[in-house]
Structure 1
Amino acid sequence: MTDFTTRPEIRGTFGVVTSTHWIASAVGMAMLEKGGNAFDAAVATGLVLQVVEPHLCGPAGDLPAVFHSVTTGTAVLAAQGPAPAGATIEHYRAQGLSLIPGSGLLATVIPGAFDGWMLMLRDHGTVTLREALAPVIHYAGEGHPIMPRVAATIAGLADYFAAEWPSSAETWTPGGTPPAPNAIFRNPDVARTYTRLVEAGEAAGSDRAAQIDAARDAWAEGFVAEAIFGYLEQAEVHDVSEQKNRAVLAPADMAGWRAGYEEPVSYDYHGWTLHKTGPWGQGPVLLQSLAILKHFDIAAMDPRGEEFAHTVIEAMKLSYADRETYYGDPAQSEVPMAHLLSDAYNAERAALIGETASLEQRPGRVPGFEALAEAYVARAARDFGVGDVAAQEPTMAHLTEKRGDTVHLDVIDRWGNCVSATPSGGWLQSNPVIPGLGFPLNSRAQMFWLEEGLPTSLAPGRRPRTTLTPTLADHENGARLVFGTPGGDQQDQWQLIWFLRFVHHGMDLQQALDAPLFHSLHFQGSFFPREVKPGALLIEPNMAEGAIDGLRARGHRVSVAPEWSVGRLTAALRHPDGVMQAGATPRLMQAYAIGR
């Protein structure tokens, strides 16, 4: 294995920040340089990502994070907003819908990202509200060089915005013209919104925590909520259902919800304990995949080879079938997580992997939950090859610019605090901009089903089963690792491949980030229109010689992506002696790791 990498392996003892945009990474590092900790840096980084990658996340989106505090331990920040009280299957069916649209007001759940960032800042950060929000106010108000991909996204939607979403046209195409690639782009309304949130906080007095809570209240019940519901009172928005729909989100929904903390779901694998969100995210699917792959000698396989790719893909097909069958909000549905991670169950699952590609949907049969398995198989058969309608999240260079996606960040500070966060939602493609605020609502409700009796059935107060899945892992020797990626259904697939190469094949962070990636499209997609593509496999071309032909011979339906076009991973590692490393993918030429 060559030691050559596309970028240097960032190493140091002071701190590291890695994210999907270089400006955001630099902002996070600047926060560490000013004396802030990993939580301060994560908040500043995450908020700036809303401005520099507005096609991938926004203030009204979603936020899961897995973090380790040297004082309080490891936990999950759960800032995924649930469905509004008026979000019933009956209401959506009455609109003539069989699927929740991938855009527009009916796809909106309670915004979660801002409150989640503020909760992290209040409880674990050290800087003031003004200090944390200063970078996002600067880059929104003074501008930043807009990435060509963002400019292309806006240009592709300019006519639609002008015709259907005029407030979005005013924000993203000022003067009626899409921004040129790399031109300085400003969003003064977002700058004013965040400035007003700082002012609302400081009006509460000099106490830091009180200021942050006052800003949270201004968001959920004050001027932000007033602007949102003033707009929604009359708004009827065209969406991908090709009809205009009104929102069900109401003032009481936002006023009555706040982000919180949860225990992670954890799993031991070859000396590492991995921590993920609960099954309201797809995070446990990575743990299930590892539980299956424990039964194979991954270390003996060529990490670029046919056998490795085949075995990993087949394991992921099985774990993702269980995701679609059993996962959901555990606050509202019983999810048999202990059974799904048990040794006996996964030994049975591993025995299903043969020498050829499976073209079947094979969820496991969990005692007492058999009806859910049958329902998934029937649903997947119904939605096989539903068409070429653009899915509404996963993007990479080989896919259309018009789809939303996600961002990711990892931070470790000199004290040993670590944060892995995957903010998403509230993309510029998701909904019209709220006049005066400068950002749109989210479209996360598209992950619910308009069918009764499922863990993912639409229901008031239920969290959608998202694809957002940051990772934190502890080694038995005291090392700690944080990593993740955007990419919708691909997030845990790319993370799994990266982690296996890191653990079993001696690859360092950046080596593993540079290695070719692949993913399956076999199982039911999480985004409108919920396609199923049995056996479909997308792979980068620079695998081992003969690997792609070998996969085809095994029955995989292989499509070859352009080189350097799959995956947007970042990762950071703290060794037991305090030395840190960080890396970022070279794909799309925008993610960057910084540290010293």
Structure 2
Amino acid sequence: MSGFTTRPEIRGSFGMVTSTHWIASAVGFGILEQGGNAFDAAVAAGLVLQVVEPHLNGPAGDLPVIFHDAGADQTQVLCAQGTAPAAATIEVFEKLGLELIPGSGLLPGVVPGAFDGWMQLLRDHGTMDLAQVMAPAITYARDGHPMLAGVSKVIEGIAPFLAEEWPTSAAVWTPGGQVPAPGALFKNPDLATTYQRLVDEAKGDTREGLIDAARELWRRGFVVDAIEDYLATAEVADVTGSRNRALLTRADIEGWQAHYEAPVEIDYHGYSICKTGPWGQGPVLLQALRILENFDLAAMDPIGADFVHLVIEAIKLAYADREAYYGDPDFTEIPLETLLSRDYARDRAALIDMAQASTDQRPGRIPGYEHWADAAIARAAREFKAGTGASVGEPTMAHLTERKGDTVHLDIIDRWGNMVSATPSGGWLQSAPVVPGLGFPLNTRAQMFWLEDGLPSSLAPGRRPRTTLTPSLVKKDGKPWLVMGTPGGDQQDQWQLIWFLRLVHHGLDIQEGIDAPLFHSQHFQGSFYPRKANPGTMMIEPAIGEDVIADLRSRGHTVTVSAPWSVGRLTAAIRDEDGLLRAGATPRLMQAYAVGR
């Protein structure tokens, strides 16, 4: 590596905030400057991301957070992933003649999770008042923020559909019937009013009481009232080409709240990597690391063909297991101990041929679970009957799907050693209609369930969809050291894996690793409608070099070369043992920034 970077690695000792939008990073750092901690900053920045990147996340979306509370010396996962409604059964979709849950509209709605999750994090680990952390989001929604070119383009692409089919969305995203111009101030007064009411109407004698009161207003007050009123009669067009009603009810929302759980953790070359459970795709990164332990990556060129080939082949194996075995462990016994064991990984590693790319779907065969592996292989080979309606489903970056966007991410470390990594998503403006008066749409995450009974990711009432959202926290010598993450759907753990390997084995600093050419596999079955697999296919940035690309093709990879600087949206922050803080953010899409001192 030449050591060239687009930006410096940010260094300091006071605090680091890095996120996928410069305004959110500035807001988060402003909270640190006011005396808040990493949790206060994360909530403020997270709420702002809902305002400035509404095509990528929203208040009714999902929220996984992995964090370390320095005072309690405890690392935890906050799961704010909404569950399937009580009425969401496989039989309901079968009666509609559907083979897949659509990626847009009201039918794939799950319980809104993000707002409740942010409030729980603030209540239990923050120090600031509700009004303080919500003020920036309210201000940007009320007074305006510069419209991202990407948001403008998304709205432009679906404006006719919104006007004809989702008028509540048209009123918010095309005010006066006009698509907001890139760079122009854009306001969402309904969202500002919703958030201001939560602050004004929350009553309590303590900081914690006020926060819980806001959660109650959301769950049992005016927010759920508006949702209930809308869903009582709403029947909207979606990707199936039909008009469908929601399965979500008031009772579903009232009966759910965010919760904490222990992270899943493995050791790797002296580092401990912490991820969410198998209700997310987080363990797939751990499985890939276990497989790669069996190879000498340090001896490989980090932008050479051997490195790329090996990592891609390890990813294929890990993701094949994701498709076969991952799901909500509250409903199904997931063989995670086996999947993360070194003996199992050694057998998986033996399947890798350094001279030839695999084009097969190869989940491992775990005794007692072979039927899940067989089902995953059969699904990957199947062509599902997709809808012909307006495709306004999940966004996971322009060059990866037909739609612009992905999700958002933030990493924060404060001077006390608190660390937060969060990947908010869901509630995208292009995926569901806006609830009248609230200024935001509902979630469509149920599209990640299968309509086939007996699988760990089968649709069932109250079950969490197996998401792609996957923040990370890494310990070094037993002490919290690194938080990292990226938007990008199925690519999230792939890009994090590549960056982490180059950091650990090749000594690239944060920004060098982020700026280095990235790649990913598209071999396995996609998580989002219409759930396609592309055997043997991978994508890579042209900066890797023509010789490497030719070498990969000679090994049997079907290589798609992306546009320059278009793969990945990584951010990361590190706290070294001596207290030095470091951070970086991707230059891709020219939105993400790290702020620190």
Which TM-score band (shorter chain)? over 0.9
Shift of 1:404: 5.2
Which secondary structure state, in structure 2, belongs to the residue aligned with residue 420 of structure 1?
Answer: strand
Q: Aligned equivalents of 2:362 and 2:404: distance in 1?
A: 29
1:272 and 1:50, CA in 2 relative to 1: closer, same or farther beyond 3 A?
Answer: same
Amino acid at match of 1:594: V
Aligned alpha-carbon RMSD (Å): 1.5
Which residue of 2 is the match for residue 187 of structure 1? 188
Q: Which amino acid aligns with 1:253?
A: D
Contact 1:99 1:446 in 2 (8 A): yes
1:492-507 maps to which residues of 2 (within 5 A)? 492-507=493-508
One-letter code aligned to 1:233: A
Structure 1 unaligned regions, length at least 5: none
Q: How big is the shift at 1:478?
A: 3.7
Instruction: Within 5 Å, give how 1:446-465 maps onto structure 2.
Output: 446-465=447-466
**What's the counterpart of residue 366 of structure 2?**
366
How many pairs were matched up? 594
Change (3 A) 1:327 1:471: same
Aligned to 2:68: 68
- Corresponding residue number in structure 1 for 2:483: 482
Q: Give secondary structure in 2 for the equivalent of 1:559.
A: strand
User: Any residues of structure 2 matched to 1:481-560 within 5 Å, and which?
Assistant: 481-560=482-561
Q: TM-score, normalization: structure 2? A: 0.98
Q: Secondary structure at the match of 2:77?
A: strand
- Give deviations 1:358-417, integer Å, cap 9, x for gaps: 000000001110100001111111139989996933533535673552100000000000
The secondary structure found in structure 1 opposite 2:116 is: helix
The reply on whether 1:249 has 2:248 as its aligned counterpart is yes
Q: Any conservation in 2 of the 1:405–1:425 contact (CA below 8 Å)?
A: no
Q: Distance in 1 between matches of 2:240 and 2:450?
A: 15
**Which residue does the alignment assign to 1:396?**
397
Q: Please name the residue that 1:101 is paired with.
A: 102
Partners of 1:215 and 1:517 lie apart in 2 by 42
**Corresponding residue for 1:330?**
329
- Counterpart in 1 of 2:144? 143
Q: Would you say the 8 A contact 1:523–1:532 is kept in 2?
A: yes
Give deviations 1:504-540, integer Å, cap 9, x for gaps: 1110000000000011110000000000110010110
Correspondences of 1:119-268 after superposition (within 5 Å): 119-201=120-202, 204-268=203-267
Residue aligned with 1:106, SS? coil
Q: Is the 8 A contact 2:397 2:403 kept in 1?
A: no
TM-aligned CA deviation for residue 4 of structure 1: 2.0
Q: Does the aligned pair in 1 maintain the 2:10–2:594 contact within 8 Å?
A: yes
- Cα-to-partner distance string for 1:163-207 (whole Å, 9 max, x where unaligned): 100000000000000000100000000000000001122xx2331
* CA distance in 2 between partners of 1:88 and 1:397 (Å): 32
The one-letter amino acid paired with 1:242 is G
Query: AA paired with 1:454?
Result: L
Which residue in 2 is equivalent to 1:87? 88
Look up the equivalent residue of 1:519 and give its one-letter code. H
SS in 2 for 1:582: strand
Preserved contact between residue 78 and residue 261 of structure 2 (Cα < 8 Å): yes
CA contact (8 A) 2:168 2:436 kept: yes
Name the residue aligned to 1:2. 2
Equivalent position of 2:347 in the other structure: 348
The letter of the residue matching 2:247 is V
Matched letter for residue 595 of structure 1: G
Whole-angstrom CA distance in 2 between matches of 1:38 and 1:276: 19
Change (3 A) 1:299 1:566: same
Q: Is the 8 A contact 1:402 1:429 kept in 2?
A: no
Report what 1:42 is aligned to. 42
Helix, strand or coil for the counterpart of 2:517? coil
Structure 1 pair 350–385 and aligned structure 2 pair: CA distance change class (3 A)? farther
The DSSP-based 3-state class of the residue aligned with 1:105 is coil
Q: Aligned residue for 2:304?
A: 305
1:236-293 residue CA offsets vs partner (Å, 9 max, x unmatched): 0100011000001011100010000000000101111000000000000000000000
Within 5 Å, give how 1:413-424 maps onto structure 2: 413-424=414-425
Q: Distance in 2 between matches of 1:458 and 1:143?
A: 40
**CA displacement, residues 477-518 of structure 1 (integer Å, 9 cap, x when unaligned):** 745100000000000000000000011111000000000001
SS at match of 2:543: coil
Counterpart amino acid of residue 370 in structure 1: E
Task: Tell me how far 1:569 sits from its aligned partner.
Answer: 0.3
- Stretch of structure 1 that moved more, 546-555 or 471-480: 471-480
Q: Any idea what SS the aligned residue of 1:516 has?
A: coil
Aligned residue type for 2:429: L
C-alpha separation in 1, matches of 2:429 and 2:265: 34
Whether the 8 Å CA contact 1:372–1:454 is kept in 2: the answer is yes
Q: Secondary structure at the match of 2:544?
A: coil
Q: CA deviation at 1:92?
A: 1.4
Q: State TM-score, norm by structure 1.
A: 0.98
Inter-CA distance 365–239: structure 2 relative to 1 (3 Å threshold): same
Amino acid at match of 1:26: A
Provide the secondary structure at the position in 1 that maps to 2:252: helix
- The aligned residue for residue 289 of structure 2 is 290
The 3-state SS of whatever aligns with 2:550 is helix
Deviation at 1:555, TM superposition (A): 0.4
| Residue identity opposite 1:509 in structure 2 | I
CA distance in 1: counterparts of 2:375 and 2:244, whole angstroms? 29
CA contact (8 A) 2:473 2:480 kept: no
Which residue of structure 1 aligns with residue 383 of structure 2?
383
Question: In structure 1, what residue type is equivalent to 2:542?
Answer: P
**Are 1:572 and 2:573 matched, yes or no?**
yes
CA contact (8 A) 1:228 1:434 kept: yes
Unaligned runs of 5+ in 2: none
For the residue of structure 2 that corresponds to 1:572, the secondary structure is strand
Q: Secondary structure at the match of 2:530?
A: coil
2:387 and 2:212 mapped to 1: Cα distance?
Answer: 46
Task: Supply the distance in 2 between the matched residues of 1:383 and 1:495 (Cα, whole angstroms).
Answer: 30
2:517–2:542 CA contact under 8 A, matched in 1: yes
- Mark the CA change 1:520 to 1:543 in structure 2 (over 3 Å): closer, same or farther: same
Q: Distance in 1 between matches of 2:404 and 2:100?
A: 18
Q: Deviations over 1:22-72 (max 9, x none)?
A: 000000000000000000000001000001000000000000010000123
Q: Secondary structure at the match of 1:319?
A: helix
2:314 is matched with which residue?
Answer: 315
Distance 1:188 1:386, change over 3 A: closer
Residue 544 to residue 385, structure 1, CA distance change in 2 (3 Å)? farther
Q: Judging changes above 3 Å, is the alpha-carbon distance between structure 1 residues 304 and 387 closer, same or farther for their aligned structure 2 residues? A: farther
In the superposition, relative to structure 1, how do residues 373 and 187 fare at CA in structure 2: closer, same or farther (>3 Å)? same
Deviations 1:95-131 (A, max 9, x none): 1211000011111100000000000000000000000
Mapped pair 1:584 → 2:554 = no
Post-superposition offset of 1:430: 1.3
